Amino acid sequence: MLLRSIKICLLVLCLAELISGIGLLLHYRANTFEAFLSVQSILNSENLRWFCYDLHKVGANLLILFSFLYLFICLWQQRYRYWLVKIIFVVLLLLGSYSGNILPWSQLSTWLLTALPSLNLKVSFLVHVIFIPIVLIILISPFAKGGLRGIFLARVNPPKSPLPPFAKGGIPLRKGGNCFLFLIYLLIFLFFTLVSPNVFSIKLENFSALMPLPVLYDYPPWYLAPWFALYKSFGYTVFGLAVLVWFLVPLLLKPTKVSFEHQFHPLVVSLLLLCLIGLGATGMHLHSTRSLLLAQCLTVIYFILWIGLIVYSRWRQDESEK
């Protein structure tokens, strides 16, 4: 039930991103002279263009947040099926948000361009508007063949065994229950956008025009902060390994039966989540030797936890075969 709720929430956010993105595309100018001015005209407009901007901005951050939450729940519940598809989906979302933050041509764009000098405004625009949506549609379409029908249409012949009641951790969905959840999440998202549109914005330098060096914006966005801390700790090699483990390690893991006597797997996943949160908090303030040392310690713990998951999975598999 929890994973289904997150899937419906991701569907709401994807649709909101698509609709608001089309609205912004009609008024955005993808050149270095008019990009920032076009964004300012959108923000200062008297019609609903500013709402499209807030909807797109908040929706992109929530989309990344819930996709990471979905990954950790799958890792917690040992649902490794189609794992590579899930990881590629999250990577595409990160790439889309990265390229989208370059489009306003602001101080944040300057910081992001220093990290990937090969990108520019034109390339970011093509990646964000054409490449990412097309690849996401191709990636998701085989798995969404019956998904939309199951979300919006009620079942004519419900299963004989009902869903578990509230006491057993389940929420019984009757006819149209998924559609009801869709509408509830949509209303919550719209209300959240209207009340707190700048909840993911920390400083105002993002809204200042791109200027020559020195760069005022000297910290990463929140969704890049853990990976920025991993990169700053030991360089590109460790950073590449830290990203690669998300692709390979879950493919090596074998689902094990979790009992009260064997709670090692949920414990390690919880510690891994806390470690990434700590890396994210450290990555936002990497301006001292103490914060760099803390990031290095968390990086070592990060790899130890992944190794622990592999060793535990193999040990439980050998134990069950005896």
> What's the whole-number average pLDDT of the chain?
77
Per residue in 17-66, pLDDT (tens digit) is: 999 999 899 889 888 888 888 888 888 877 778 888 889 999 999 999 99
How many of the other CB atoms lie within 10 Å of CB of 164?
A: 12
pLDDT of residue 165: 38
Residue 4 pLDDT grade (very low, low, confident, very high; cuts 50, 70, 90): confident
More confident residue, 69 or 285: 69
pTM of the model: 0.82
Q: Distances from the Cα of 315 to the Cαs of 254, 303, 309, 311, 322, in angstroms? A: 10, 18, 10, 6, 11
Q: Angle at CA 292, nearest 5°, toward 286 and 295?
A: 100
pLDDT of residue 321: 60
Residue 212 reports pLDDT greater than 50: no
Domains of the chain, first to last: 1-218 (1.20.810.10), 224-322 (no CATH)
As a whole number, mean pLDDT of residues 141-168 equals 44
Q: Of 304, 234, 318, 235, which Cα lies nearest the Cα of 271?
A: 304
pLDDT of residue 152: 42
Residue 215 pLDDT grade (very low, low, confident, very high; cuts 50, 70, 90): very low
**C-alpha of 136 from chain center:** 14
Q: Running DSSP on this structure, what letter comes out for residue 231?
A: H
pLDDT of residue 218: 59
As a whole number, mean pLDDT of residues 216-225 equals 74
pLDDT of residue 173: 41
Lowest mean pLDDT among 57-61, 166-170, 177-181, 205-209: 166-170
Q: Of 127, 78, 110, which Cα lies nearest the Cα of 265?
A: 78
pLDDT of residue 203: 46
The number of residues making up the chain comes to 322
Classify 240 as helix, strand or coil: helix
